Amino acid sequence: MTFIQHFQLWLGAFLVLSLFSFLYKDNPFYKLAEHVFAGLSAGYYVGLVWQAVIIQQLVNPMFNDGHWWLAFPGFLGVLMFARFFAKWSWVSRISLAFVMGNTAGVFLISQLHGLALPQTASTMMSLDPSRGFGATLLALIVVVGVISTLIYFYFSKEHKGALGVTARVGIWFIMVSFGAHFGYTVMARISLLIGQVQFLLFDWGRSIKAIF
């Protein structure tokens, strides 16, 4: 390996170990690595937005393809910088209002077609026994889970009697859902940890062996 490759490996190992040092306590090495990570992320996203949004989706279409109507969203983007000036900060509300309204409309449709309608369709699976015991049982569990969970969030009537029992069943379904999401998150973090440990043991270890 070249000197530059060794330097990159040792720098990466130093930053990884600095981040891991927070397991002991907060310290200057952890703060240094944290600030480096935040700074690099901010710089990367600024460059990404400049190239992928401003250049490719605004400047090039306007001057190369003649799409001059893009000057309107570009002007709205410029108005966002008015927040840096106290006297004119109210002007940025025009852009914020447009972005929030447009985003709400787009996400309403996407959530409706991507989540609400498919989930509604999934609760209407056939309970026909001819589909097999497993499929019928799964469909029944889905229906019971959806109805009991919705009843748990029904606060117009006190949860007593049959309504209270159904609401408690809904709590169990909610806890199972939260547990599954938490387990998925933990698995994702563990996979990141495994990748960093492999980097320290194999990549950095190979560099240490080559030097010493």
Same-domain check for residues 135 and 208: yes
Pick from 66, 99, 114: which residue ends a domain? Answer: 66
Pick from 66, 85, 114: which residue ends a domain? Answer: 66
146 in a structural domain: yes
Structurally, the chain folds into a number of domains equal to 2
200: Cα separation from own chain's centroid: 27
42 in a structural domain: yes
CB 58 within 8 A of CB 78: no
Q: What is the pLDDT of residue 41?
A: 95
87 in a structural domain: no
Q: What is the pLDDT of residue 143?
A: 87
**Could you tell me the pTM of the whole model?**
0.70
**Cα angle 166, 170, 172; round to 5:** 120
Domain that holds residue 46: 1-66
To the nearest whole percent, how much of the chain has pLDDT over 90? 68
Q: What is the pLDDT of residue 69?
A: 93
112 in a structural domain: no
Sign of the four-CA dihedral 86, 88, 90, 91: negative
Instruction: State how far the alpha carbon of 5 is from the alpha carbons of 17, 98, 201, in Å.
Output: 18, 48, 16
Q: CA–CA separation, 78 vs 107, rounded Å?
A: 24
Q: What is the pLDDT of residue 114?
A: 85
Q: CA–CA separation, 12 vs 36, rounded Å?
A: 11
Pick from 38, 66, 94: which residue ends a domain? Answer: 66
Q: CA–CA separation, 202 vs 206, rounded Å?
A: 6
98 in a structural domain: no
30: Cα separation from own chain's centroid: 24
